[in-house]
Amino acid sequence: MKRRVRIGTRGSQLALVQTEMVIKELKTMYPNVVFEKIVLSTKGDKIIDKPLIEFGGKGVFIEEFERALQDNRIDIAVHSGKDLPAELGEDLIIGGVLKREDPRDVLVVKKGCSVLKRNDKSDLGDGRGQEGKSHTISIGTGSLRRRLFAEQIWDCTCVGMRGNVPTRLEKMNSGICDGVILAAAGLRRLQLTQVPEYDYYYLSEQECIPAGCQGIIAAECRREDNEIRQMLQKIHHIQTGIQFEVERTVLKLLNADCRQMAAVYACMEESKSHQISLNIAFEKNGTYYRTASKESMDNWRSLAGAAVTKLEDSPWYI
């Protein structure tokens, strides 16, 4: 009888695609194992008309999976890295991560929608076009981080919005807003990067620092399950794993949650020096801080702590 491994996943199109990516990698290494998807619904999936901060924060997307792991109803849980809270459930670990997809954010707008950066307004006097119509656009996002950067980059107003990728695009199409900010990784995985009805504005990691672990798929398992841990280590991407650890360490040190704006991105620099750079932005008690640090790959474990210490002396005036 073939070995059967049960993999927990959310039911959204993106979650299923990401779970299939994990299964594909595992099948390559373990062709004789049967990998079965177990679809679970989370509180975060059921409540989409309220901000996350009102009913539990990031943990609402993984609580059900962690209970299923602890009750031995599933063997692996697949998560978007940015959905993970700072602390995992008791006796649970991240067994492996896949190679990171594009970590950037993307503004998606209806074709032909005028998008003005703030520093472009000076060319238009009062910010209006020849027909007297305002160039201000409305952008849908439920993220404090995306809202802050959006309002810094564009002449815009932000509209609260939650839901999966297709749902947010549908809301934009219905006229709730002119555009939505989404993760490039999700758009790529759903093959939605070249829809002719949309225009896309990709944001660099410097002008809009990504959420911690954005673009990373993480596989969680029981700490004591050595067989599953060995399986996940076979598909673990080492460089992405370092980024994952650095960014999560920063978030833990900052004690960051959905009630605060937090952004962190660790970038591997492929050069003779083999360095890793770290960009952080954080809000605390109404004050915004931003800093950048760099360290050799040999010392990556010390980077997060040093950067957070430096952050406290780096107020960001916005």
Supply the residues annotated as catalytic: 83
Instruction: Measure Cα distances from 107 to 57, 65, 150, 169, 209 in Å.
Output: 24, 31, 9, 11, 14
190-201 b/e with 16+ CB inside 10 Å = b?
A: bebeeeeebebe
For 298, list phi and psi in degrees, rounded to 5.
-60, -25
Q: Three-class SS of residue 179?
A: strand
Q: Alpha helix (H) ranges present in the chain?
A: 13-29, 43-46, 63-70, 144-153, 165-173, 184-189, 226-234, 238-254, 300-311
Gap between the Cα atoms of 162 and 50, Å rounded? 8
User: How far is 77 from 63, CA to CA, in rounded Å?
Assistant: 11
Asked whether the beta carbons of 132 and 172 are under 8 A apart, the reply is: no
Instruction: Retrieve residue 310's tokens.
Output: 């430096």
The dihedral region occupied by 246, where left means phi > 0, alpha psi between -120 and 50, and beta the remainder, is: alpha
Q: Which of 308, 273, 270 is nearest to 289 (CA)?
A: 308
| Strand-pair category, 4-9 with 76-80 | parallel
